[in-house]
C-alpha cells in the first residue's frame, strides 16, 4: 500500500525528502545495516559477535552482515540456528554486543536457546522474518513462528515498514542494554512483504549511532571471578529470578519512552509507539492488527468512514511486554472490536485475540478474524469484509477463518 505512515508523515527529517542518508534497501538489508552500525558502535566497549545461519526469507540479512568489516567484531558461520543463538550467548556473556537473524522452522529449532537467552538476561538483538511454520512447507508471512516464542522472556516488536525495521534494531540495543531492562529483543517483520521489498530508508551515519548507543556494560558478564551463570536453582530461587524478569518487563514501557526521546533527539524522527492508533478519536468499531496488515487496515478504515462507520485502527507493535494498559485505554469507547490474527493457535484461535479480548470494555462485541494465515495476500476488500461482518453482528462467535488466497 502506498498510504503515508500516520506517524512518520508528520515527523521531521522524513516525509520522503531526499537526504544523503536515504538508501533504497530491502528490510533484510535495513536490519543488517542497522545491526552493523550498532556493532561498530561497541568498538569502544567489548566489541561485537554474531552466530549466523541461513534460512529463507532472512538470508539476505546475514549475507550482508558477513560482507561487512567490523572493527573488534567477529561473525561466526555456524551449523544451525540452535548454535547461532548459543554463539551469541557466548559473546554476550563475555560482554560483547550481539545480533542474529532467523525465521520460521529455524526459530523453532533455536527455541531452547531463545529461552536460555531470555533467562540468562542477555541483551541480544535478533531480527525475525515472520514465516509460516511447516510442514507443509510454506515460505510466506505468518506470525505464528515468533508468537510461539512469546513466553521466552524477550521483548517483541513487530514492524510495519523498512524504516521501522532499521529504527527498531537500533532502539532494541538501547532498550535491551538498559540496566533496568537487560532483556533480549526480537524485532519482527513480515516475510517478503517487507523482507524482500525495497523502500527508501533513512539510515544514519556511524557518528550519529555512536551518540545514540553507548558501549554495552553487562553487569553479570563472565569475567575472572569464580561463579556459575545458569546453574542449579531451587524453586524459591527461581521464583526470585522470575520476579526480577517480571520487573524488567514492567520497566520496558518507561524505558521505551525514554528511548523514543533519545531517538528523536539523535535522529530527528519519531520511533513508533508500542501501540499505533489511526483515526481512534471517536472510533466505535476498532480493528486490531499486527505488522504490515495495519497499512491495509487503514485504507479500509478510511473507506468505512466514508460510509459513515466510526472505524479506527490499533496496530500492536509491542507484543512483549503486552501494552495492556494502553490497549485498555484505547479501547475504552469501542463498541465493536475486530482482532485480526495472522497466526493460528489450534484449539484457541488467534493469539492476539486470546490475549487482547479481555481488554475491551464490558458489553462490547469482540470478534476474532484469522486472515492471511499461511501468507495469503490480505487486501483492503478483505478488511472491509471484516468491518462489515463486525458491524452486522449481534454477538461474537467462534474465531472466523478468512480465506484470502
With beta carbons less than 8 A apart as the criterion, state whether 330 and 277 touch: yes
Greatest alpha-carbon span in the chain: 69
For 241, phi and psi rounded to 5 degrees? -65, -40
Spatial distance between the Cα atoms of 221 and 92, rounded to a whole number of angstroms:
8
Beta carbon of residue 45, minimum distance to other proteins (angstroms, whole number): 9
Spatial distance between the Cα atoms of 303 and 309, rounded to a whole number of angstroms:
9
Beta carbon of residue 68, minimum distance to other proteins (angstroms, whole number): 15
Beta carbon of residue 246, minimum distance to other proteins (angstroms, whole number): 18
The residue (of 80 and 197) whose beta carbon lies closer to other proteins is 80
Spatial distance between the Cα atoms of 243 and 234, rounded to a whole number of angstroms:
14
Spatial distance between the Cα atoms of 188 and 143, rounded to a whole number of angstroms:
9
CA torsion sign for 244, 173, 129, 86 is negative
Beta carbon of residue 220, minimum distance to other proteins (angstroms, whole number): 11
Spatial distance between the Cα atoms of 298 and 315, rounded to a whole number of angstroms:
10
With beta carbons less than 8 A apart as the criterion, state whether 259 and 171 touch: yes
Tell whether omega for the bond before 57 is within 30 degrees of 0, i.e. cis. Answer: yes
The residue (of 224 and 282) whose beta carbon lies closer to other proteins is 224
Beta carbon of residue 52, minimum distance to other proteins (angstroms, whole number): 12
Beta carbon of residue 108, minimum distance to other proteins (angstroms, whole number): 15
- Give burial (CB, 10 Å; 0-12/13-18/19+) of 74: middle
The residue (of 11 and 84) whose beta carbon lies closer to other proteins is 84
- Please count the residues of the chain: 405
Question: Alpha helices, DSSP H only, in 156-205?
Answer: 162-176
The residue (of 116 and 271) whose beta carbon lies closer to other proteins is 116
Q: Are strands 275-278 and 311-316 parallel, antiparallel or unpaired?
A: antiparallel
- Give burial (CB, 10 Å; 0-12/13-18/19+) of 64: buried
Beta carbon of residue 80, minimum distance to other proteins (angstroms, whole number): 6
List of residues contacting other proteins (CB under 8 A): 46-47, 49, 51, 72-74, 76-80, 82-83, 86-96, 98, 112-113, 116, 222-234, 237
For 373, phi and psi rounded to 5 degrees? -65, 130
The residue (of 82 and 315) whose beta carbon lies closer to other proteins is 82
The residue (of 226 and 363) whose beta carbon lies closer to other proteins is 226
Beta carbon of residue 227, minimum distance to other proteins (angstroms, whole number): 6
The residue (of 100 and 330) whose beta carbon lies closer to other proteins is 100
The residue (of 3 and 237) whose beta carbon lies closer to other proteins is 237
Amino acid at each position: 500500500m502506498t498510504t503515508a505512515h500516520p506517524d512518520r508523515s508528520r515527523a521531521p527529517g522524513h516525509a520522503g525528502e531526499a537526504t544523503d542518508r536515504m538508501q533504497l534497501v530491502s528490510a533484510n538489508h535495513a536490519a543488517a545495516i542497522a545491526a552493523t552500525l550498532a556493532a561498530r558502535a561497541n568498538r569502544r566497549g567489548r566489541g561485537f559477535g554474531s552466530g549466523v545461519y541461513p534460512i529463507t526469507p532472512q538470508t539476505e540479512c546475514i549475507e550482508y552482515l558477513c560482507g561487512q568489516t567490523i572493527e573488534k567484531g567477529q561473525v561466526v558461520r555456524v551449523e544451525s540456528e540452535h548454535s547461532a543463538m548459543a554463539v551469541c550467548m557466548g559473546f554476550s556473556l563475555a560482554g560483547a554486543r550481539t545480533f542474529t537473524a532467523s525465521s520460521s522452522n529455524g526459530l523453532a529449532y533455536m527455541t531452547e536457546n531463545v529461552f536460555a537467552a531470555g533467562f540468562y538476561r542477555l541483551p541480544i538483538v535478533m531480527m525475525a522474518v515472520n514465516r509460516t511454520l511447516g510442514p507443509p512447507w510454506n515460505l510466506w508471512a505468518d506470525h505464528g513462528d515468533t508468537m510461539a516464542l512469546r513466553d521466552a522472556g524477550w521483548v517483541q516488536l513487530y514492524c510495519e515498514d523498512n524504516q521501522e525495521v532499521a529504527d527498531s534494531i537500533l532502539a532494541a540495543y538501547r532498550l535491551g542494554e538498559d540496566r533496568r531492562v537487560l532483556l533480549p529483543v526480537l524485532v519482527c517483520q513480515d516475510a517478503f512483504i517487507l523482507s524482500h521489498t525495497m523502500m527508501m530508508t533513512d539510515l544514519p551515519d556511524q557518528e550519529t549511532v555512536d551518540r545514540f548507543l553507548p558501549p554495552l556494560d553487562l553487569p553479570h558478564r563472565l569475567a575472572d571471578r569464580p561463579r556459575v551463570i545458569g546453574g542449579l536453582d531451587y524453586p524459591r530461587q527461581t521464583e526470585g529470578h522470575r520476579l526480577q524478569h517480571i520487573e524488567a518487563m514492567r520497566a520496558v514501557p518507561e524505558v521505551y519512552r525514554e528511548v523514543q526521546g533519545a531517538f528523536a533527539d539523535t535522529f530527528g524522527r519519531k520511533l513508533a509507539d508500542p501501540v499505533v492508533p489511526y483515526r481512534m478519536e471517536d472510533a466505535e468499531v476498532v480493528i486490531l492488527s499486527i505488522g504490515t496488515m495495519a497499512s491495509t487496515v487503514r485504507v479500509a478504515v478510511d473507506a468505512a468512514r466514508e460510509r459513515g462507520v466510526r472505524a479506527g485502527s490499533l496496530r500492536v507493535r509491542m507484543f512483549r511486554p503486552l501494552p495492556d494498559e494502553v490497549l485498555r485505554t484505547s479501547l475504552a469507547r469501542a463498541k465493536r472490536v475486530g482482532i485480526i490474527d495472522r497466526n493460528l493457535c489450534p484449539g484457541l484461535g488467534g493469539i492476539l485475540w486470546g490475549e487482547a479480548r479481555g481488554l475491551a470494555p464490558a458489553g462490547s462485541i469482540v470478534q476474532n478474524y484469522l486472515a492471511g494465515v499461511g501468507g495469503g495476500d490480505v487486501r483492503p476488500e478483505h478488511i472491509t469484509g471484516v468491518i462489515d461482518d463486525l458491524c452486522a453482528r449481534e454477538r461474537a462467535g467462534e474465531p472466523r477463518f478468512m480465506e484470502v488466497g
